[in-house]
């Protein structure tokens, strides 16, 4: 990215502009040439003498890079990177422009809508905000008055308000602020929190300085939370500094494709390879013994015993990765230490054995002692600045008061919500009553804290989103008002048909209100639709871990007024709170949104106006977050503490919290775990197994990482394949199919397979196949249920980089809603009462007539919906959806 | 605010004079993200179906390599431009800095340029009723900004500069890496040079920017999919 930088001078007017006659003279050419006037519905060239750039934060995916939006005549025309963002460094990807697509989409929801006719029938009338919020408040108020506020369930898909929606749910008094963490990354967060503490559920490898990366199924070149921050650093390190990256994957992803080595790997066997590498490193004596003995909470001799049989040859028999390569890579990795690191995300973790796989992978970094070192596996703060570990000296940034507090936990005991608890099925009550106190104290019912999955909420509420709908159906929680916020469960959850069934049932869900920007599969099944302002039209506080290893913060600010009658979620909840009353309104007594955010950022050392102009703030003089654990505790931090003579743990006597550890006579920070060491070994898995009845020989019950094959992959029959899904770089989750330029590039989701697999099946490229998916067989939802779970038909593409036992379809496509672009139709399909269609700012000559890939125009269409055929499959204890274990048959149609 | 913000350093005084404007495309860095191609469509409101640039996904043919190579394809701003030579209306002209541009006022839609271009760089914009192609974002470079594609690239795979200036980074990198033009045998002397592009890519991406039925590509599926004829 390179905006020219020259010295400051006064701006001169260019003097060009559209003449009334339409032709524009381009003065910079030796000959004068002309450009035709902008056709109807087009805006014409951006005039950079008029257009103004304002910084904000992207919302094209979940990485949230700092960007600037160029606005001309009140309209956002293009997005560029913000070079002041120390994380993205001015870089963006294709999805940034998607913000413009969704803001000006002809089928964007612009008006509140109320269902007429039957739910799901698609008949709507436009209502005013007053009517909409009036009705909603009237339905919600009695829940508080009757002492059952938990019957209001707020369920989000993407919420980056950094706590604003929590302000509302806490003020209202419901613990039900549900999410989709388990759909995504629970399995990889749990190992990190077990190793490094709640503050570090995500790592921050120092890619700028690394020499060797082992990548187990991560794809930062295309997706991955923080992917762009990682990607540009990795490419620089590789091309300019000779760093090497090795990737284990099931398909030739972009990351695999730019890696120096790519090995197709049998799904669910990443752990085996990682264990074998541990075995080799120990065998070769390449471990960093000093680091291990100082910081790991597990004796190395015990680790040796764990991996004694996990040889490279053994790993090859499971994974297909040649033993010689496993050996070579392990040695190269260890020799590059400490400037080396592992990388892993859904590829390794979203399996029945994925949590243990990631624990093994994380052990590799501890073993070679690269943790917190330059070029190594570092940890840098990811959360709001409240004086936590790693945030010392940073200005505190918190929402303006008054501060809300969590509703009471449920259970028997003084101060607990006994009424709510007693409504639970007896089996659930019995299980919870047998829990250790530290779980009882944070139990809030089956939707927020499912008792069968205690590790889904042990560190904090990751929850198990994909069980919300089955649990509601089973009667584990009564719901009165259900609010979907930027949620696409009816499209993107496993067993999406079950989601739709529950949403359609007016006894289970008496009232459904959807807040979103487009008429998607979720909004279709609502009773009330509230049109939201897009990310270009609203405020948010921003913060995430910086791969440049110095904490920073940013602000999302409106570039334009919301279109139509759209309102930001902040406005909606504020208005709703004021209407509900009964004390809820006290938390939303501020006047305007900007002053709310100004107050939030008030402790920044720069004026608010300066911060808005830059969009980003970082203390440039702050040291990088290397070896946070070796930092000495200050006098202030040591005040009121005592040391345990045996363990060296330094505890604050008042709070009872551990704050450090004594090593070699020095009082230092240590890791943010109870034992202040790295939690290679953690009893919590054993405790969770005992509390839930998970057999102790299940791979998920082990307190130390171990390997076991995914249950349904054991003795996988010859005619069975593993079905996996993936993401493209031009799309994000289930909300980008409406972005015209992105869907123009990728609008289908064919079944990718190895040509040999095709030959075996007797199919050629383009042939249609039927994929039949079976239920998993482990200890999970409907585990072992015989027969097919679901099926779908789609056409085949060959890629020789596919693992021969894997077939894969992407996410993103196969929409039955979200308008003409997402559905590949040449008619507008959104409710005409809710959209502007071909009028006003959302008119677009491309939509819907320009959608050339529609079947009507002889095109290939918009893909196939596959999620109805993908089983709900929560990993034992953590609840992470095991998306990548699915066993299927493939038949030519 | 003491310093000028980067996005305020925009204006005709920031325009650089170049003799041979061009783009260096470094395929060692490209990750196929499409930031460039989508940025281009956004910047120029290119209608759906038309492309000033594409990012090609080409399956590597080597037996021991099973991954995908990415390559942006764009107008090459040839120093000996077949489109310019072919146009009967003289509607394609060369700017001071060597870039090749369509003079829309003169375009008569004869489409000789479309046929003449070995890179498939030109398409017909039905809305504007002209031949259209990359113009190196003249309206941006005039105010000191890089072309939209270059500005968007997150891995510095695209760099804009002056191949006539020996001190320009693009010239230096091109020299150091032996960067070459696409389809050199055509004699077009392109001002877009590629680092690490391989001959097999030219074959698989023969249709260039607009693609052709014979082309192979992973991502632009409709144009590529070899389907059985429906009975």
Res A13 pLDDT > 70: no
User: What's the pLDDT score for residue A380?
Assistant: 97
Average pLDDT over residues A182-209: 97
| pLDDT, tens digit (0-9, with 9 covering 90-100), for A426-439 | 999 999 999 999 99
| Start-end of H helices in A386-495 | 418-422, 426-433, 437-440, 445-448, 468-474, 489-492
Token pair 């796989």 in the structure block, residue: A357
A25, containing H or E segment: strand A24-26
Minimal Cα–Cα distance from B183 to chain A, Å?
Answer: 24
The tokens describing A642, both together, are 């005592």
CB distance B59–A799 less than 8 Å?
yes
CB distance B9–A78 less than 8 Å?
no
User: What's the pLDDT score for residue B222?
Assistant: 67
Interfacial B residues in 177-196 facing A (CB < 8 Å): none
| Start-end of H helices in A633-777 | 635-638, 684-692, 740-745, 755-761
| pLDDT, tens digit (0-9, with 9 covering 90-100), for A472-505 | 999 999 999 999 999 999 999 999 999 999 999 9
Token pair 């006719």 in the structure block, residue: A117
Res A221 pLDDT > 50: yes
- Euclidean distance between CA atoms A458 and B14, whole angstroms: 56
Please count the CA atoms within 13 angstroms of the CA of A349 that sit on its side-chain side.
27
Res A23 pLDDT > 60: no
For residue A48, the chain B residues in CB contact (below 8 A) are 10-11, 139-140, 143, 145
| pLDDT, tens digit (0-9, with 9 covering 90-100), for B21-39 | 999 999 999 999 999 999 9
The mean pLDDT of chain A is 94
Res A600 pLDDT > 90: yes
Choose among A389, A61, A349, A65: nearest CA to A190: A349
CB distance B105–A23 less than 8 Å?
yes
% of chain A at pLDDT higher than 70: 96
The tokens describing A226, both together, are 């923080």
Q: What is the pTM of this model?
A: 0.95
| pLDDT, tens digit (0-9, with 9 covering 90-100), for A56-104 | 999 999 999 999 999 999 999 999 999 999 999 999 999 999 999 999 9
User: What's the pLDDT score for residue B216?
Assistant: 78
| Nearest CB neighbour to B47, from listed A35, A48, A850 | A850
CB distance B143–A49 less than 8 Å?
yes
| pLDDT, tens digit (0-9, with 9 covering 90-100), for A26-62 | 545 545 788 888 999 999 999 999 999 999 999 999 9
Res A313 pLDDT > 60: yes
Identify the residue among B2, B3, B34 best suited for mutation to test binding to A, counting A beta carbons within 10 A and taking the highest.
B34
Res A286 pLDDT > 80: yes
User: What's the pLDDT score for residue A8?
Assistant: 23
Average pLDDT over residues A726-746: 96
Is the four-CA dihedral A715, A721, A727, A732 of positive or negative sign?
negative
Q: Which residues pair with A343 in a beta bridge?
A: A215
| pLDDT, tens digit (0-9, with 9 covering 90-100), for B1-17 | 557 899 999 999 999 99
Res B229 pLDDT > 50: no
CB distance A766–B226 less than 8 Å?
yes
ipTM reported for the complex, 2 dp:
0.96
CB distance A222–B33 less than 8 Å?
yes
User: What's the pLDDT score for residue A615?
Assistant: 98
A193, containing H or E segment: helix A186-196
Q: Which residues pair with A642 in a beta bridge?
A: A651
Choose among A423, A483, A293, A316: nearest CA to A369: A293
| pLDDT, tens digit (0-9, with 9 covering 90-100), for A133-149 | 999 999 999 999 999 99
Average pLDDT over residues A807-835: 95
What CA–CA distances, in Å, run from A469 to A465, A477, A601, A774, A890? Answer: 8, 10, 38, 20, 29
Res B223 pLDDT > 60: no
Q: Which residues pair with A246 in a beta bridge?
A: A214, A261
Does B59 contact A at CB distance below 8 Å?
Answer: yes
CB distance B37–A221 less than 8 Å?
no
CB distance A235–B218 less than 8 Å?
no
User: What's the pLDDT score for residue A29?
Assistant: 52
Neighbours of A305 (CB within 10 A): 11
DSSP string, A45-112: S--TTT-EEEEEE--SSSS--EEEEEEETTEEEEEEE-TT-TTTTT---THHHHHHHHHS-TTB--S-
Q: Where are the beta strands (DSSP E) in B75-197?
A: 92-94, 100-102, 123-125, 130-132, 158-162, 192-195
Res A225 pLDDT > 60: yes
For residue A1, the chain B residues in CB contact (below 8 A) are 151-154, 156
Q: Which residues pair with A555 in a beta bridge?
A: A541
- Euclidean distance between CA atoms A133 and A313, whole angstroms: 64
Average pLDDT over residues B65-71: 95
| pLDDT, tens digit (0-9, with 9 covering 90-100), for A555-599 | 999 999 999 999 999 999 999 999 999 999 999 999 899 999 999
Phi first, then psi, for residue A116 (nearest 5°) are: -125, 155
**Cβ-based contacts under 8 A for chains A and B:** 258
Token pair 């085949």 in the structure block, residue: A796
Minimal Cα–Cα distance from B186 to chain A, Å?
Answer: 27
Res A24 pLDDT > 90: no
Res A20 pLDDT > 60: no
- Euclidean distance between CA atoms B160 and B165, whole angstroms: 12
């Amino acid at each position: 990215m390179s905006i020219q930088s020259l010295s400051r001078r006064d701006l001169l007017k260019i003097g060009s502009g559209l003449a009334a006659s339409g032709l524009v003279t381009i003065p910079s050419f030796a000959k004068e040439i002309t450009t035709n006037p902008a056709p109807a519905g087009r805006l014409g060239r951006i005039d950079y003498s008029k257009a103004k750039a304002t910084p904000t934060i992207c919302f094209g995916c979940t990485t949230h890079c700092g960007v600037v939006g160029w606005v001309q005549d009140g309209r956002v025309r293009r997005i560029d990177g913000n070079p002041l963002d120390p994380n993205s460094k001015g870089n963006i990807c294709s999805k940034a422009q998607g913000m413009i697509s969704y803001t000006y989409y002809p089928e964007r929801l612009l008006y509140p809508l109320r269902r007429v006719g039957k739910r799901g029938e698609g008949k709507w009338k436009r209502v005013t905000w007053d009517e909409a919020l009036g009705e909603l408040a009237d339905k919600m108020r009695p829940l508080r008055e009757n002492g059952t506020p938990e019957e209001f369930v707020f369920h989000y898909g993407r919420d980056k308000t950094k706590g604003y929606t929590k302000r509302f749910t806490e003020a209202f008094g419901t613990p039900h602020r549900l999410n989709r963490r388990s759909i995504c990354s629970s399995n990889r967060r749990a190992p990190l929190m077990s190793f490094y503490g709640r503050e570090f559920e995500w790592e921050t490898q120092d890619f700028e300085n690394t020499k060797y990366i082992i990548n187990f199924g991560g794809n930062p070149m295309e997706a991955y939370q923080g992917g762009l921050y990682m990607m540009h650093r990795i490419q620089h390190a590789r091309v300019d500094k000779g760093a090497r990256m090795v990737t284990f994957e099931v398909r030739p992803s972009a990351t695999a494709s730019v890696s120096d080595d790519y090995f197709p790997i049998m799904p669910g066997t990443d752990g085996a390879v990682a264990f074998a590498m541990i075995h080799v490193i120990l065998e070769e004596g390449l471990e960093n013994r000093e680091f291990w003995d100082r910081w790991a909470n597990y004796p190395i001799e015990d680790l040796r015993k764990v991996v004694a049989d996990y040889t490279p040859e053994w790993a090859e028999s499971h994974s297909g990765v040649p033993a010689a390569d496993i050996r070579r890579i392990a040695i190269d990795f260890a020799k590059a230490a400490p400037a080396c690191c592992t990388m892993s995300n859904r590829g390794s973790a979203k399996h029945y054995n994925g949590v243990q796989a990631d624990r093994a992978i994380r052990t590799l970094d501890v073993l070679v002692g690269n943790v917190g070192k330059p070029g190594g596996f570092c940890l840098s703060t990811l959360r709001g600045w409240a004086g936590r570990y790693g945030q010392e000296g940073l200005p505190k940034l918190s929402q303006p008061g008054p501060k809300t507090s969590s509703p009471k936990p449920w259970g028997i005991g003084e101060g607990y919500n006994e009424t709510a608890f007693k409504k639970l099925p007896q089996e659930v009550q019995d299980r919870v009553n047998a829990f250790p106190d530290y779980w009882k104290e944070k139990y809030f019912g089956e939707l927020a804290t499912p008792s069968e999955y205690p590790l889904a909420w042990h560190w904090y509420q990751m929850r198990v989103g994909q069980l919300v709908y089955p649990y509601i159906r089973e009667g584990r929680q009564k719901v009165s008002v259900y609010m979907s916020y930027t949620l696409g469960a009816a499209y993107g959850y496993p067993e999406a048909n079950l989601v739709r069934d529950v949403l359609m049932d007016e006894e289970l869900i008496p009232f459904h209100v959807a807040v979103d920007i487009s008429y998607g599969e979720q909004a279709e099944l609502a009773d009330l639709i509230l049109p939201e302002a897009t990310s270009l039209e609203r405020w948010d506080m921003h913060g995430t871990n910086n791969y440049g290893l110095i904490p920073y913060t940013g602000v999302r600010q409106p570039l334009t007024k919301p279109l139509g009658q759209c309102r930001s979620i902040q406005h909606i909840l504020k208005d709703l709170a004021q209407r509900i009353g009964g004390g809820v309104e006290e938390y939303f007594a501020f006047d305007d949104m900007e002053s709310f955010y100004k107050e939030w950022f008030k402790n920044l050392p720069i004026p608010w106006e300066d911060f808005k102009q830059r969009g980003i703030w970082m203390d440039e003089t702050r040291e990088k977050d290397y070896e946070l654990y070796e930092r000495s505790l200050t006098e202030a931090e040591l005040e009121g503490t005592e040391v345990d003579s045996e363990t060296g743990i330094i505890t604050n006597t008042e709070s009872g919290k551990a704050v450090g550890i004594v090593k070699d006579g020095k009082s230092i920070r240590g890791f943010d775990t109870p034992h202040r060491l790295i939690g290679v070994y953690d009893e919590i898995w054993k405790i969770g197994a005992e509390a839930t009845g998970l057999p102790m020989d299940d791979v998920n019950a082990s307190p130390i990482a171990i390997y076991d094959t995914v249950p349904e992959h054991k003795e996988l029959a010859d005619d069975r394949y593993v079905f996996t899904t993936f993401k493209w770089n031009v799309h994000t989750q289930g909300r980008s199919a409406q972005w015209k330029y992105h869907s123009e590039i990728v609008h289908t989701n064919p079944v990718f397979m190895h040509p040999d697999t095709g030959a075996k099946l007797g199919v050629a490229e383009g042939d249609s196949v039927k994929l039949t998916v079976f239920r998993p067989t482990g200890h999970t939802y409907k585990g072992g249920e015989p027969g097919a779970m679901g099926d779908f038909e789609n056409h085949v593409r060959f890629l020789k980089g596919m693992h021969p036992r894997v077939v894969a379809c992407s996410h993103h496509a196969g929409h039955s809603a979200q308008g003409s672009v997402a559905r590949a139709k040449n008619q507008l399909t959104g409710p005409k009462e809710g959209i502007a269609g071909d009028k006003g700012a959302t008119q677009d000559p491309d939509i819907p007539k320009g959608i050339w890939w529609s079947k009507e125009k002889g095109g290939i269409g918009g893909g196939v919906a596959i999620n109805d055929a993908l089983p709900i499959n929560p990993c034992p204890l953590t609840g992470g959806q095991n998306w990548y274990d699915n066993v299927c048959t493939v038949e030519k149609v | 605010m003491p310093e000028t913000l980067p996005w305020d350093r925009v204006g005709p005084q920031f325009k650089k004079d170049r003799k041979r404007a061009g783009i260096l495309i470094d395929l060692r860095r490209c990750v196929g993200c499409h930031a460039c191609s989508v940025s281009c469509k956004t910047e120029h409101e290119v209608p759906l179906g038309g492309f000033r640039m594409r990012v090609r996904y080409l399956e590597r043919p080597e037996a021991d390599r099973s991954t995908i190579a990415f390559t942006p394809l764009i107008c090459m701003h040839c120093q000996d431009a077949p489109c310019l030579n072919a146009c009967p209306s003289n509607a394609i002209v060369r700017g001071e800095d060597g870039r090749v541009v369509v003079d829309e006022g003169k375009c008569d839609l004869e489409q000789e340029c479309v046929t003449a271009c070995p890179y498939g760089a030109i398409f017909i914009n039905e809305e504007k009723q002209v031949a259209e192609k990359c113009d190196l974002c003249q309206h941006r470079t005039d105010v000191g900004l890089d072309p939209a594609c270059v500005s968007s690239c997150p891995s510095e795979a695209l760099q804009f500069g002056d191949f006539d200036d020996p001190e320009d980074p693009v010239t230096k990198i091109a020299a150091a890496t032996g960067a070459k033009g696409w389809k050199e045998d055509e004699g077009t002397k392109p001002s877009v040079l590629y680092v690490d592009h391989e001959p097999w890519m030219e074959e698989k991406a023969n249709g260039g920017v607009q693609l052709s039925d014979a082309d192979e590509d992973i991502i632009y599926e409709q144009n590529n999919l070899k389907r059985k004829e429906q009975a």
